[in-house]
Every structure is written in structure tokens, then in C-alpha cells.
């Protein structure tokens, strides 16, 4: 059933190359290149600005239901949540074949979208401790969650690019249990530096975190976050889904939301 769903969304065995899969397995992340063009980026940024203005203090409030996010109002960052229901512009973020192929490679073909959220590190802020996006350590290959970062701005050292420690998804340990200071620079960390429109997949059990944005502008990104089908969603689509959204989506995308 899930194989058929992914196939209908354009995912084939060859959607990722053998070398891409090997790199993702070894390092826990993979740069898929630029999947958004300048026209798409401009339209998405404009839509996000309107949402931030209209939602105001309620922006990101859908995350209050999540059992794994205790403080959705993150200091130093602007947030929006449940973008699935906020416009056709956001459909590409969880239906793109290259992203789905990466998710299925990490998690297996029984997957669903966990959440589709926006995060922007504000100027002068954004540093996060190294963390994994799961509440406990897991054994290698028993992965529960996998994320993707869609870069809406160029990511650089200056504007707080995400850092990741390659290979730590295979450690079976959490950074807070083994690091003296999870906020400190890790000797093996790499920065995800890439142009706007790029998409980077990362195994969410790999240690990662935002860095300080030292520029005068926000560093914007959207995260399409997936989980295994047997795990709870970060944003419960059955609770939030709108009829307007259902009416525009093919059945394969509806299934990917965990609604069938």
C-alpha cells in the first residue's frame, strides 16, 4: 500500500542514486540540491510574511498539542506550524519525490508526515544545543523520525546555518547524556551552507542544532518532518485537516498525511 502511494507520488528506486543513499547512510544527512526556483521562493516568502502578520501571537500554536515540544514559542526564532492547511504553495514541501525517497530510505516505506513548520532564526539569535529530534536513544536502523530543511535564504556561517555531527545517528546515545556542553562547538560538526532553494535531508537521530545568526536579517527555513507510520505525529492532521485541503490533494498525498 505505502509502496504504491510513494510510486504515485513519483518515487522510484532510482530517485536517489546509490552514492546519495550511501552518503545518507554514513553521514546522516544529504544535500538534495536546489529544488525551489527564485519565483517559488518569492511567492513562499510573501505567503509566510502574511501568515506571520495575521497569526501574530498565535503563530505556531498548533505545536502546543505535541507531546515532544514543550515550548513552541522558541526564544530567538519566529515559528509557524501546520502549513499543510495554509496554502497550495506548501504542498511541494511534503510531496516532492526526492524528499520522499530520502525519507523512505531512512525510515522504510511505511511513513507519514509528522509536521510541516516554519522556523526563522532572528538576527543576533538562533543558537541551539546539539540535540536529536527524538526523546530517547534508538538502535541503528531503528529510526523513528527524519527531517528536511528547505532553505528559504542562503545558509552561511554568518546567518546561523544548521550544524550537524555526521555519523551520530549511529551512536545510540543522546548528546545531552555524553557532552559536557551541548551548546559548545563539536570538533566533528559541519555547517549546512547552501544557496536558497536547496533542501537538506537529515536523519533526525543525528545530533544537530541551529547556530548564532550574526547578521541583521532572519535566517528562514521550512521543515517537512516525517515519522514512521506507527509513531504519533507532531501535528495531528486528523484534528487540524481542512476540507479545503482535502479537496485539492490526490489520494496518495492524503494517505501520506496519515488520514487513510
Convert the pLDDT of each residue in 120-171 to its tens digit: 988 888 899 999 999 999 999 999 999 999 999 999 999 999 999 999 999 9
pLDDT at residue 58, rounded to an integer: 83
**Average pLDDT, integer, range 4-9:** 91
Q: Is pLDDT at 251 greater than 60 in this prediction?
A: yes
- The Cα–Cα gap between 122 and 120 comes to 6
pLDDT at residue 117, rounded to an integer: 96
**Average pLDDT, integer, range 18-43:** 98
- The Cα–Cα gap between 222 and 88 comes to 15
* Structural domain harbouring 34: 2-256
Report which of 108, 114, 144 is spatially closest to residue 2, judged by C-alpha positions. 108
pLDDT at residue 70, rounded to an integer: 46
Q: What is the reported pTM?
A: 0.94
pLDDT at residue 63, rounded to an integer: 76
Coil/strand/helix, residue 112: strand
* pLDDT tens-digit readout, 176-190: 999 999 999 999 999
Q: Is pLDDT at 68 greater than 90 in this prediction?
A: no
- How many structural domains is the chain composed of? 1
CATH of the domain at 27: 2.60.120.620
The mean pLDDT value of the chain amounts to 93
Torsion of CA 85, 91, 93, 95, to 10 degrees: 120
Cell of 76: 530567538
* pLDDT tens-digit readout, 35-51: 999 999 999 999 999 99
Amino acid at each position: 500500500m505505502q509502496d504504491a502511494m510513494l510510486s504515485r507520488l513519483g518515487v522510484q528506486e532510482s530517485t536517489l542514486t546509490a552514492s546519495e543513499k550511501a552518503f545518507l547512510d554514513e553521514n546522516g544527512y544529504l544535500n538534495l540540491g536546489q529544488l525551489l526556483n527564485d519565483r517559488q521562493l518569492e511567492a513562499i516568502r510573501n505567503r509566510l510574511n502574511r501568515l506571520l502578520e495575521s497569526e501574530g501571537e498565535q503563530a505556531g500554536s498548533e505545536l502546543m498539542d505535541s507531546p515532544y515540544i514543550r515550548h513552541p514559542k522558541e526564544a530567538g526564532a519566529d515559528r509557524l506550524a501546520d502549513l499543510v492547511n495554509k496554502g497550495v504553495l506548501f504542498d511541494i514541501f511534503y510531496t516532492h519525490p526526492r524528499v520522499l525517497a530520502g525519507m523512505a530510505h531512512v525510515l522504510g516505506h511505511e511513513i507519514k508526515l509528522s509536521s510541516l513548520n516554519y522556523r526563522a532564526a532572528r538576527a543576533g539569535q538562533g543558537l541551539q544545543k546539539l540535540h536529536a529530534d527524538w526523546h530517547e536513544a534508538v538502535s541503528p536502523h531503528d529510526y523513528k523520525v527524519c527531517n528536511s530543511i528547505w532553505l528559504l535564504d542562503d545558509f552561511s556561517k554568518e546567518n546561523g546555518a544548521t550544524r550537524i555531527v555526521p555519523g551520530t545517528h549511529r551512536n545510540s546515545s543522546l548528546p545531552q547524556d555524553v557532552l559536557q556542553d551541548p551548546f559548545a562547538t563539536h570538533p566533528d560538526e559541519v555547517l549546512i551552507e547552501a544557496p536558497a532553494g536547496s533542501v537538506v535531508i537529515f536523519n533526525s537521530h543525528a545530533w544537530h542544532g541551529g547556530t548564532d545568526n550574526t547578521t541583521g536579517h532572519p535566517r528562514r527555513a521550512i521543515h517537512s518532518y516525517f515519522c514512521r507510520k506507527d509513531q504519533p505525529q507532531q501535528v495531528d492532521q486528523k484534528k487540524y485537516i481542512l476540507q479545503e485541503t482535502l479537496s485539492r490533494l490526490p489520494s496518495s498525498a492524503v494517505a501520506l498525511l496519515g488520514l487513510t
